[in-house]
Structure 1
Amino acid sequence: MSFKIAIIGAGSVGFTKKLFTDILCVPEFRDVEFALTDLSEHNLGMIKAILDRIVEANGLPTKVTATTDRRKALEGARYVISCVRVGGLEAYADDIRIPLKYGIDQCVGDTICAGGILYGQRNIPVILDFCKDIREVAATGAKFLNYANPMAMNTWAAIEYGKVDTVGLCHGVQHGAEQIAAVLGAKSPKELDYVCSGINHQTWFIDLRLNGRKVGKDELVAAFEAHPVYSQQEKLRIDVLKRFGVYSTESNGHLSEYLPWYRKRPDEITRWIDMSDWIHGETGGYLRYSTETRNWFETEYPQFLEAASKPLDPTKRSNEHASHILEALETNRVYRGHFNVKNNGVITNLPQDAIIESPGFVDRFGINMAAGITLPEACAATCMASINVQRMSVHAAISGDIDLLKLAVLHDPLVGAVSTPEEVWQMVDEMVVAQAAWLTQYAHAVPAAKERLSKSQVKTREWAGAARRNVRSIEELRAEKAALKQAG
C-alpha cells in the first residue's frame, strides 16, 4: 500500500518516533510516505535524522520528508496526525504560574481548569487552520487524528467548525486497564475485558470482566488497597472508586484537577497525592517533567540517534490507537478501541453535541461506535460539569469573546471551589495579556485588559504551590538513572 501520512507537530520527537515505528510494524505499510511538519526546523532535523536511520537500518522503501511549510506537508495526505503544543513550554509555564497566584494548584493543566482552558484558546484557532488546509490540499476524505490536548475542545472545534472527519485519540483507557489487570493478578492485560465510557480524561470503567468473570466494586477496592504501589500512588482515584462505584481512567494527578473536592485547600492536597512521580499530583508536575524531558533529549540526542539503528520489533508495537486505526481502515482487520467523537446518542445521558470517549470498532467502513451506553449518574454529573466548561471554552475561542472566556473559567469545578468571581476576572485578564502572542482572537480585548489590571485591587500572592519540585539538572537526572540501574 502506498499513501501519505502527514504529522503536524512532528518536533514532538519521542511521540513522533513511537507513531512512526508503530505504523511500520504493519507489513502492508512499508511503502507509506511520512510528511513531517513543525514550526521548529531544529526539531524537524532531529526527528528526520532518527526516522531516516530507522528506515535505513531496516532496509525499508519508506519515504520521509520534513518541511516547515504545513500546506506542502498536507498535500495529498490521506491521514493527518496532530500532536502540537501551541505556545510551547513558554506559554504552558504561564498556564501553571498565573493561576497559582490566585490559589489554583494544578498538576497538569492541559484539559480543563484555568490552564487547560487557556491552552484551548491557543490551540483552537490553529486547529481550524489545520482543518482549512486539510479541506483544501489533503486527499479527498482525509481523516484527521488529533492527539493534541485539550483533547475534547480541539476535537469539538475540528468537527463542529473545521468540518473535517476527525477522531481524538488518547491512551488513558489503556493505562487504566493495565493497572486494573495488575491489581487483579492477571497474567496479561488481555485477560481483562471492559467497557469504558465518558469524556476524555474522565472515562469510567463501567463494566469489568476478568477471564469472563464480572468484577464488582468491592473486589476492585480491596485489590487496589492491597497493592503495595497503587495503594499509595492512587489514593484519590481509590477514594473516587469507593464513592462512585467505578474506577476512573485518569491518573491521580489529572483526576484531582477535574473535581472540586481534592485540590481546593493546600493542606488537603498533600493528603491525596503522591510525590514518587509527577503524574500522581505534584504541583506543575507535567511542566517539570516536560522541561526535564526536553533538556534530556537535547543533551542525549546522539544516544537516541544510535538507538534508531536497531531492527524494528513488531512485538513492541505500542497500544497507541493511531497505527491500529490505520491498519483497520486500510486492511479491514477489525480493531476495537476507545475514541473521542461527537456523542450523537452514543452515551444516552450526556449531551448530543459533546465530545465523548467510548468504545468503537474500526474496519474499512470507518469508526463505528457502540451506542446506547448509560453512565452511572455520578459519573454523568461529573462529566457534565466539564462538558459545560468545554462548550463555553470552544465558543469563546471561536468568537474571541473574553467575557464568555471568563464565564467558562468561572464555571470550572476546581476554579469555582477556590476563587471568587473578582479573582477569576482578573486572572483571565492576566493570562490573556501574558499570552497575547498566541491569542490573536483576543487582540481587541488586550488593551482594556491591561487597563483593568493597572487599576485592580484584587490581591494575589507569589506561591509555588502545595507540592512543587524543582526542575532537575541533566547531572541530577543522570545520577538518578544510574542509581535506579544499579538498584535494579
Structure 2
Amino acid sequence: MSFKIAIIGAGSVGFTKKLFTDILCVPEFRDVEFALTDLSEHNLGMIKTILDKIVEFNKLPTKVTATTDRRIALEGARYVISCVRVGGLEAYADDIRIPLKYGIDQCVGDTICAGGILYGQRNIPVILDFCKDIRELAEPGVKFLNYANPMAMNTWAAIEYGKVDTVGLCHGVQHGAEQIAEVLGAKSHSELDYVCSGINHQTWFIDLRLNGRKIGKDELIAAFEAHPVFSRQEKLRIDVLKRFGVYSTESNGHLSEYLPWYRKRPDEITRWIDMSDWIHGETGGYLRHSTETRNWFETEFPQFLDSAARPIDPSKRSNEHASHILEALETNRTYRGHFNVKNNGVITNLPQDAIIESPGFVDRFGINMASDITLPEACAATCISSINVQRMSVHAAISGDIDLLKLAVLHDPLVGAVSTPEEVWQMVDEMVVAQANWLPQYAHAIPAAKERLSKSRIQTREWAGAARRNVRSIEELRAEKAALKQAV
C-alpha cells in the first residue's frame, strides 16, 4: 500500500518516533510516505535524522520528508496526525504560573481548569487553520487524528467548525486498564474486558470482567488498597472509586484538577497526592517533566540516534491507537478502541453536542461507536460540568469574546472552588495579555485588558504551589538514571 501520512507538530520527537515505528509494524505499510511538519526547523531536523536512520537500518522503502511549510506536507495526505503544543513550554509555563498567583494549583493544566482553557484558546485558531489546509490540499476522505490537548476542545472545534472528519486519540483508558489488570492479578491484559466511557480524561470503567467474571466495586477497592504501590500513588482515585462506585481512567494528578474538592485548600493537597512521580499530583508536574525531557533530548541526542539503529519489532508495538486505526481502515482487520467523537446518542445522559470518549470498532467502513451507553449519575454530573466549560471555551476561542472566556473559566470546577469572580476576571486579563502572541482572536481586547490590570487593586501572591519540585539539571538526571540502573 502506498499513501501519505502528514504529522503536524512532528518536532514532538519521542512521540513522533513512537507513531512512526508503530505504523511500520504493519507489513502493508512499508511503502507509505511520512510528511513531517513543524514550526521548528531544528526539531524537524532531529526527528528526520532519527527516522531516516530507522528506515536505513531496516532497509525499508519508506519515504520521510520534512518541511516547515505545512501546506506542502498536507498535499495529497490520506491521514493527518496532530500532536502540536501551541506556544510551547513558554506559554505553558504561564498556564501554571499565573493561576498560582490566584491560589489555583494545577498538576497538568492541559484539559480544563485555567491552564487548559487558555491552552485551548491558543490551539483552536491553529486547528482551524489546519482544517482549512486539509480541506483544500489533502486526499478526498482524509481522516484527521488529533492527539493534541485539550483533546475535547480541539476535536470539538475541528468537527464543528473545521468541517473535517476528525477523531481524538488518547492513551488514558489503556493505562487505567493496565492498572486494573495488575491489581486483580491478571496474567495478561487480555484477561480483562471492560466498557469505559465518559469524556477525555474523565472516562469511567463502568463494566469490568476478568476472564468473564464481573468485578464489583468492593472487590476493586480491596484490590487497589492492597497494592503496595497504587495504594500510595492513587489515593485520590481510590477515594473517588469509593464514592462514585467506578474507577476513573485518569491519573491521580490529572483527576485532582478536574474536580472541585481535592486541590482547593493548600493544606489538603498533600493529603491526596504522592510525590514519587509528577503524574500523581505534583504542582506543575507535567511542565517540569516536559522541560526536563526536552533538555535531556537536546543533550543526549547522539544516544537517541544510536538507539534508532535497531530492528523494528512488531511485538513491541505500542497501544497508541493511531497505527491500529490505520491498519483497520486499510486492511479491514477489525480494531476495538476508545475514541473521542461527537456524542450523537452514544452516551444517553451526556449532551449530544459534546465530544465523548467511548468504545468503538474500526474496519474498512470507518469508526463505528457502540451506542446507548448510560453513565452512573455521579459520573455524568462530573462530565457535564466539564462539558459546559468546554463548550463555552470553544465558542470563546472561535468568537474572540473575552467576556465569554471569563465565564468559561469562572464555571470551571476547581477555579470556582478557589477564586472569586473578581479574581477570575483579573486572572484571565493577565493570562490573555501574557499570551497575546498566540491569541490573535483577542487582539482587539488586549489594550482594554492592560488598562484594567494597571488599575486593579486585587492582591495576588507569588506562590510556587503546595507541592512543587525544581526542574532537575542534566547532571542530576544522569545521576538518578545511573542510581536506578545500579539498583536493578
After TM superposition, the score normalised by the length of structure 2 is 1.00
C-alpha deviations, 1:387-429, integer Å up to 9, x for none?
A: 0000000000000000000000000000000000000000000
- How far is the alpha carbon of 1:361 from its aligned partner? 0.1
- How far is the alpha carbon of 1:434 from its aligned partner? 0.1
What is the alpha-carbon distance in structure 1 between the residues aligned to residue 24 and residue 483 of structure 2? Answer: 35
Q: Secondary structure at the match of 1:472?
A: coil
Q: Which residue of 2 aligns with 1:483?
A: 483
Q: Which residue of 2 aligns with 1:255?
A: 255
What is the alpha-carbon distance in structure 1 between the residues aligned to residue 163 and residue 155 of structure 2? Answer: 11
What is the alpha-carbon distance in structure 2 between the residues aligned to residue 187 and residue 113 of structure 1? Answer: 38
Q: Which residue of 1 aligns with 2:324?
A: 324
- How far is the alpha carbon of 1:262 from its aligned partner? 0.1
- How far is the alpha carbon of 1:165 from its aligned partner? 0.1
- How far is the alpha carbon of 1:272 from its aligned partner? 0.1
Q: Which residue of 2 aligns with 1:273?
A: 273
C-alpha deviations, 1:358-410, integer Å up to 9, x for none?
A: 00000000000000000000000000000000000000000000000000000
What is the alpha-carbon distance in structure 2 between the residues aligned to residue 276 and residue 423 of structure 1? Answer: 33
Q: Which residue of 1 aligns with 2:62?
A: 62
Instruction: Note the 1:20-169 alignment, pairs <5 A.
Output: 20-169=20-169
What is the alpha-carbon distance in structure 1 between the residues aligned to residue 233 and residue 432 of structure 2? Answer: 35
What is the alpha-carbon distance in structure 1 between the residues aligned to residue 99 and residue 379 of structure 2? Answer: 27
C-alpha deviations, 1:237-283, integer Å up to 9, x for none?
A: 00000000000000000000000000000000000000000000000
C-alpha deviations, 1:461-480, integer Å up to 9, x for none?
A: 00000000000000000000
Q: Secondary structure at the match of 2:300?
A: helix
What is the alpha-carbon distance in structure 1 between the residues aligned to residue 418 and residue 429 of structure 2? Answer: 18
| 1:398 and 2:382 are equivalent in the alignment | no
Q: Which residue of 2 aligns with 1:208?
A: 208
C-alpha deviations, 1:127-171, integer Å up to 9, x for none?
A: 000000000000011000000000000000000000000000000
Q: Which residue of 2 aligns with 1:192?
A: 192
Q: Secondary structure at the match of 1:336?
A: strand
The runs of 4+ residues in structure 1 deviating greater than 6 Å are none
C-alpha deviations, 1:278-321, integer Å up to 9, x for none?
A: 00000000000000000000000000000000111000000000
Q: Which residue of 2 aligns with 1:241?
A: 241
What is the alpha-carbon distance in structure 1 between the residues aligned to residue 255 and residue 323 of structure 2? Answer: 27
Q: Secondary structure at the match of 1:286?
A: helix
- How far is the alpha carbon of 1:189 from its aligned partner? 1.0
Q: Which residue of 1 aligns with 2:19?
A: 19
- How far is the alpha carbon of 1:351 from its aligned partner? 0.4
What is the alpha-carbon distance in structure 2 between the residues aligned to residue 86 and residue 17 of structure 1? Answer: 20
C-alpha deviations, 1:319-367, integer Å up to 9, x for none?
A: 0000000000000000000000000000000000000000000000000
- How far is the alpha carbon of 1:37 from its aligned partner? 0.1
What is the alpha-carbon distance in structure 2 between the residues aligned to residue 246 and residue 170 of structure 1? Answer: 20
What is the alpha-carbon distance in structure 1 between the residues aligned to residue 356 and residue 312 of structure 2? Answer: 34
C-alpha deviations, 1:191-226, integer Å up to 9, x for none?
A: 100000000000000000001000000000000000
- How far is the alpha carbon of 1:19 from its aligned partner? 0.1
What is the alpha-carbon distance in structure 2 between the residues aligned to residue 378 and residue 482 of structure 1? Answer: 45
What is the alpha-carbon distance in structure 2 between the residues aligned to residue 400 and residue 214 of structure 1? Answer: 49
What is the alpha-carbon distance in structure 2 between the residues aligned to residue 234 and residue 108 of structure 1? Answer: 16
Q: Which residue of 2 aligns with 1:413?
A: 413
When the two structures are aligned, how many residues end up with a matched partner? 488
C-alpha deviations, 1:96-138, integer Å up to 9, x for none?
A: 0000000000000000000000000000000000000000000
What is the alpha-carbon distance in structure 1 between the residues aligned to residue 461 and residue 308 of structure 2? Answer: 47
What is the alpha-carbon distance in structure 2 between the residues aligned to residue 310 and residue 360 of structure 1? Answer: 34
- How far is the alpha carbon of 1:190 from its aligned partner? 1.1
Where in structure 1 are there 5+ consecutive unaligned residues? none
Q: Secondary structure at the match of 1:95?
A: helix
- How far is the alpha carbon of 1:34 from its aligned partner? 0.2
Q: Secondary structure at the match of 1:53?
A: helix
What is the alpha-carbon distance in structure 2 between the residues aligned to residue 206 and residue 458 of structure 1? Answer: 44
What is the alpha-carbon distance in structure 2 between the residues aligned to residue 50 and residue 243 of structure 1? Answer: 47
What is the alpha-carbon distance in structure 2 between the residues aligned to residue 339 and residue 189 of structure 1? Answer: 19
Q: Secondary structure at the match of 1:258?
A: coil
What is the alpha-carbon distance in structure 1 between the residues aligned to residue 389 and residue 326 of structure 2? Answer: 32
What is the alpha-carbon distance in structure 1 between the residues aligned to residue 225 and residue 132 of structure 2? Answer: 50
What is the alpha-carbon distance in structure 2 between the residues aligned to residue 263 and residue 365 of structure 1? Answer: 44
Q: Secondary structure at the match of 1:458?
A: coil
| 1:298 and 2:298 are equivalent in the alignment | yes
What is the alpha-carbon distance in structure 2 between the residues aligned to residue 210 and residue 125 of structure 1? Answer: 44
